[in-house]
């Protein structure tokens, strides 16, 4: 098992290319199940989660061929050989549930194992299932699987009013509704850029969709979809993570491909903390305005609010800020598991339920720490960059699910970091 070694660092300088969005790509890939024609995705990230989704689609009979060092994915589902998504693959990643809607919409049946993923909360799939039930699906949950069928062989349009905003449920319902008979209206729909990206791809495939990026999405079902070529949107979570590197270390880093509209609430908090974010023709340039970072309060919210997937990384910054900040997590329970590890590095953090109070210290100390999930792992790397001495991060396999070439990208701007095999 690998470890990442981080030495306390001075100011960073240079540029970091930002990859295509993992969460967008994992949503776009199942769209191949809706058509028998080829779907090509460009700007795809090279991550273990993408390989897991590839294996899942291939197990159903889809063809998936990485091209150009993996940044282009050629997908084709001209002849599905199975409608069963097995536990052995699905358990690795909760996004696997996104094959349910497309298979049900195309062929009127599907068997999908209940998914796994990071241990940061229950993340139930009940909203996915209720949306599909509203569209006429008959569901049977047994033996850890969802057995789904459309009695007439085709889903029907419906009004789906989500009781809470759910990105995954919005995506599954949107995928399924493209081939449903009639009109589907998704109310209280998620607004994330990944939803907008999916709608744009589906529209290229011939879907009739309006309202993506708002709380109400309307889909007029069509009989068939065609193939298309679509570029994956920039990964806003990788973008925000690397924007925090010069914020915590000092210096100036340009994040290539970055856009403020992907992270407006996050950028507002950076400005409040004393971090400059400047739009350039190539992306976003980030630097400290002057002196020590100021403590600011943060509450995670669905888009366009502050992303839960940047809460851990922002906490690392607040650990060395001047003053006391309160971070409130409203999206997932159990998402402060990185706090005890940061405390090992000298951070002053008190966690009470969904709130974490962070009192900034002038300097963190390097220490052996353990990653508990994807975003926690990179928060410990950021903290290590701001610490005196050496930080050793174990269980870094989480990183490979969401960050491509993290060591290479940080070393490219002057960070002292390496990945080694654990003895």
Q: Is 126 annotated for ligand binding? A: yes
Q: Decide: helix, strand or coil at residue 159.
A: strand
Q: Decide: helix, strand or coil at residue 353.
A: coil
Q: Both 266 and 224 in a single domain?
A: no
Q: What is the DSSP string of 58-104?
A: HHTT-EEEEETTTTEEEEE-SS----EE-HHHHTT-GGGGGGHHHHH
Q: Both 387 and 341 in a single domain?
A: yes
**Per-residue pLDDT for the chain (423 aa), expressed as one digit of tens each?**
799 999 988 899 999 999 999 999 999 999 999 999 999 999 999 998 999 999 999 999 999 998 877 799 999 999 899 999 999 999 888 889 999 999 999 999 999 998 754 443 444 689 999 999 999 999 999 888 999 999 989 999 999 999 999 999 999 999 999 999 999 999 999 999 999 999 999 999 999 999 999 999 999 999 999 999 999 999 999 999 999 999 999 999 999 999 999 999 999 999 999 999 999 999 999 999 988 999 999 999 999 999 999 999 999 999 999 999 999 999 877 789 899 999 999 999 999 999 999 999 999 999 999 988 888 899 999 999 999 999 999 998 888 888 989 999 999 999 999 999 865
Domain boundary among 209, 231, 253: 231
CA Rg value for the chain: 22
CB 157 within 8 A of CB 129: no
Domain boundary among 231, 251, 273: 231
Could you list the active site residues?
Answer: 118
Q: Both 261 and 280 in a single domain?
A: yes
Q: Both 173 and 244 in a single domain?
A: no
Q: Decide: helix, strand or coil at residue 390.
A: strand
Q: Both 59 and 43 in a single domain?
A: yes
Q: Both 168 and 251 in a single domain?
A: no
Nearest to 135 by CA among 153, 157, 103, 154: 157
CB 317 within 8 A of CB 244: yes
- Give the pLDDT score at 312: 95
Domain boundary among 180, 199, 231: 231
CATH no. for residue 51?
Answer: 3.65.10.10
Q: Both 285 and 357 in a single domain?
A: yes
Q: Both 326 and 240 in a single domain?
A: yes
CB 209 within 8 A of CB 202: yes
Q: Count of CB atoms within 10 A of residue 210's CB?
A: 13
Residue located via tokens 């060395």: 320
Distance (Å, whole) CA 135 – CA 156: 5
Q: Is 331 annotated for ligand binding? A: yes
Distance (Å, whole) CA 328 – CA 234: 26
Q: Decide: helix, strand or coil at residue 132.
A: helix
Q: Both 317 and 385 in a single domain?
A: yes
Domain that holds residue 294: 2-19+234-421
Q: Is 309 annotated for ligand binding? A: yes
Rounded to 5 degrees, φ, ψ at 143 are 55, 30
Q: Is 281 annotated for ligand binding? A: no
Angle formed by the axes of helices 193-204 and 167-177, nearest 10°: 10
Give the side-chain half-sphere CA count within 13 A for 287.
14
How far, in whole angstroms, is CA 333 from its chain's centroid?
17
Q: Both 55 and 8 in a single domain?
A: no
Q: Both 238 and 199 in a single domain?
A: no
- 286-342 pLDDT tens trace: 999 988 999 999 999 999 999 999 999 999 999 999 999 999 999 877 789 899 999
Tally the domains of the chain. 2
Q: Is 123 annotated for ligand binding? A: yes
Q: Give whole-number Cα distances, 332 to 109, 173, 176, in Å.
A: 31, 21, 26
Q: Both 226 and 259 in a single domain?
A: no
């Amino acid at each position: 098992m690998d470890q990442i070694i981080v030495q306390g660092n001075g100011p960073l300088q240079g540029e970091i290319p930002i990859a295509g969005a993992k969460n967008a790509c994992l949503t776009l890939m199942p769209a191949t199940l809706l058509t028998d024609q080829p779907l090509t995705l460009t700007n795809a990230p090279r991550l273990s989660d993408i390989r897991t989704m590839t294996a899942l689609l291939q197990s159903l009979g889809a063809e998936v061929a990485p091209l150009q060092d993996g940044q282009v994915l050629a997908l084709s589902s001209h002849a599905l050989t199975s409608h069963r998504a097995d536990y052995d693959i699905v358990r690795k990643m909760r996004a696997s549930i996104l094959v349910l809607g497309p298979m049900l919409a195309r062929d009127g049946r599907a068997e999908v194992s209940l998914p796994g993923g990071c241990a940061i909360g229950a993340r139930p799939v009940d909203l996915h299932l209720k949306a599909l039930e509203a569209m006429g699906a008959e569901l049977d949950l047994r033996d850890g699987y969802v057995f789904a069928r459309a009695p007439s062989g085709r889903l029907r349009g419906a009004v789906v009013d989500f009781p809470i905003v759910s990105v995954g449920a919005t995506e599954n319902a949107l995928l399924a509704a493209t081939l449903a008979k009639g009109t589907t209206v998704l109310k209280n729909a998620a607004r994330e850029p990944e939803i907008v990206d999916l709608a744009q791809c589906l529209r290229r495939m011939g879907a009739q969709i309006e309202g993506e990026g708002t709380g109400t999405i309307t889909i007029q079902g069509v009989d068939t979809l065609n193939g298309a070529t679509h570029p994956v949107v920039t990964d806003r979570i990788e973008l925000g993570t690397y924007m925090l590197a010069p914020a915590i270390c000092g210096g100036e880093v340009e994040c290539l491909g970055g856009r403020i509209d992907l992270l407006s609430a996050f950028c507002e908090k950076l400005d409040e903390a004393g971090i400059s974010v400047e739009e350039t023709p190539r992306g976003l340039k980030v630097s400290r305005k002057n002196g020590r970072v100021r403590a600011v309060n943060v509450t995670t919210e669905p888009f366009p609010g502050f992303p839960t997937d940047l809460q851990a990384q922002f906490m690392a910054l607040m650990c060395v800020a001047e003053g006391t900040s309160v971070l409130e997590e409203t999206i997932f329970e159990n998402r402060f598991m990185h706090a005890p590890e940061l405390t090992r590095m000298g951070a002053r953090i008190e966690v009470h339920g969904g709130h974490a109070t962070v009192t900034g210290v002038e300097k963190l100390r390097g220490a052996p720490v353990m990653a508990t999930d994807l975003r926690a792992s990179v928060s410990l790397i950021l903290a290590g960059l701001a610490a005196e001495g050496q930080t050793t991060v174990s269980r870094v396999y989480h990183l490979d699910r969401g960050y491509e070439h993290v060591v290479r990208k940080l070393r490219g701007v002057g960070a002292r970091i390496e990945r080694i095999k654990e003895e």
